[in-house]
Copies of this chain bind each other. A is one copy, B any other.
Amino acid sequence: MTDVDVVVVGAGLAGLSAARKLVAAGKTVRILEARDRVAGRNFGGSLNNGVAVELGGQWVGPGQDTVLALIDELGLETFPTYDAGDALTVFDGQKIRYSDATFGLPVESLAEIARVWGQLEMLAASVPLEAPWQAESAAEWDRQTFDDWLSANTTDNLALRFFRVVMPTLFCAETPEVSLLHLLFYVRAGNGLASMLAVTGGAQELRVVGGTHRISERMATELGNRVQLGAVVRTISQTNSAVTVTYENHDGTETGTVTARNVIVAIPPTLAGRIRYLPPLPSARDSLTQQFPAGSVIKFQIGYPTPFWRDAGLSGFVTSLDDAFNVVLDNSPCDGSCGVLVGFLDGAHAREAAQLSTQERHKLVLDALVKYFGPQAGEPFDILEKDWSAEEFTRGCYGGRLAAGALTHFGKALAEPVGRIHWAGAETAQQWSGYMDGAITSGRRAASEILDTV
């Protein structure tokens, strides 16, 4: 006899979705969450005027049917990301307003970007989501970094710079750090680059009233005392008949164990690799988690008395090829009670800015915003920031990436169960990999693996 049927490690969207499905099927479940909160890479903060802002994953959009249905089912509401007016693109000291699909770039570079973009989408379309390592050209694509492919496919300076700014917004890593094959998989899993990068009509179209962490919170409320917070899982032992999961509290002074028939590990690969497994995991699985680093990103929410940029006919959307703080969007609350801009330091910029003092980092951010939106942008009433790489129980966002060579050799081990151990988490998803939608489906898939075999 075991304490419960299934232990779930991690109370993010993946783990909670897994638990919910198992409970609905009549299973007894315990969810062990290291933090004192649920929701993992979704995290709700509030500006000092009380307005809720998302310090982690925040957008949903068309094609993400699973998360949209779940939001609805849980009685939550979405509202559109503000997207009226002109966007800005900054390059070579110029600040260009545009309201079409041109990114404000000169027509020659734009044509080149469109050509390269189309080529990428075409390659991505042939990647089998269930086994990207079986793509016909998998070996060739996995030998290349995305930067290799990019520089072999265009010599247009602006096009190169554009992709070298845009790609880090997906993986929070630089173009040489990502395997072309992993990028192509990711693009296909996200319904294509156009969908991934767009606000209206794309993955940034909608927000959740009150913040995306409420999705997890509502699931956790339903699951009640099955969710155990402050339980840092350290060891998973399995025998032919059961698993034993050992955890400790934050300062390591108290420990506990839960026994179960199965365990679902629903945390990012790089954290999953830190748990001790008895017997030790197969080498392919271990090698995979040795090289699945999470991205580098510092997210900022900057509050202003009003969304003043709207008065100037601006949407708040900025892409800069010149600056570190290079992607900005309007993130004001739906009631318009104040103005909020959200923006990111990602990849190399995040790593460099992490070495600065908070004051220096805020200055870097505000200097960029003043450049984009004028002097008013220099006078926020509050700035919140979250460096996800510094979080012990995440260690990087948005998700993990694979460098050249890893996906073909070790990709199969990402979601393949090891005896009674099952793997979930956004990285293991085949649709919307790395997104909230993918996290949910990954948890349900892991639950199904258990339900289908019992």
Interface residues in chain A, defined as those with a beta carbon under 8 Å from any beta carbon in chain B: 142-145, 147-148, 173-174, 176-177, 232, 234-235, 237, 246, 251-252, 270, 273-274, 276, 278, 280, 282-284, 286-287, 290-294, 296, 348, 351, 354-355, 387, 389-390, 392, 395-396, 403-406, 409-410
Shortest C-beta distance, A263 to chain B (Å), equals 15
Q: Are B176 and A404 in contact (CB under 8 A)?
A: yes
Q: Are A176 and B405 in contact (CB under 8 A)?
A: yes
Residues of B within 8 A of A406 (CB): 177
The docked-state distance in angstroms from the alpha carbon of A235 to that of B246 is 14
Contact of A290 among B235, B270, B404 (CB under 8 A): B270
Q: Are B274 and A252 in contact (CB under 8 A)?
A: no
Contact of A403 among B177, B286, B294 (CB under 8 A): B177
Q: Are B284 and A354 in contact (CB under 8 A)?
A: yes
Report the nearest B residue to A282, measured CB to CB.
B390
Shortest C-beta distance, A427 to chain B (Å), equals 13
The docked-state distance in angstroms from the alpha carbon of A355 to that of B21 is 34
Report the nearest B residue to A148, measured CB to CB.
B148
Q: Are B232 and A389 in contact (CB under 8 A)?
A: no
Shortest C-beta distance, A36 to chain B (Å), equals 15
The docked-state distance in angstroms from the alpha carbon of A355 to that of B348 is 37
Residues of B within 8 A of A390 (CB): 280, 282-283
Contact of A143 among B176, B389, B395 (CB under 8 A): B176
Q: Are B270 and A252 in contact (CB under 8 A)?
A: no
The docked-state distance in angstroms from the alpha carbon of A174 to that of B282 is 21
Residues of B within 8 A of A355 (CB): 284
Ranked 5 nearest A-B pairs via Cβ: A403-B403, A283-B389, A290-B293, A280-B392, A291-B293
Q: Are B409 and A348 in contact (CB under 8 A)?
A: yes
Shortest C-beta distance, A400 to chain B (Å), equals 9
Residues of B within 8 A of A282 (CB): 390
The docked-state distance in angstroms from the alpha carbon of A373 to that of B142 is 35
Given contact pairs A283-B387, A404-B403, A290 touches B395 in the complex (Cβ within 8 A): yes
Residues of B within 8 A of A237 (CB): 251-252
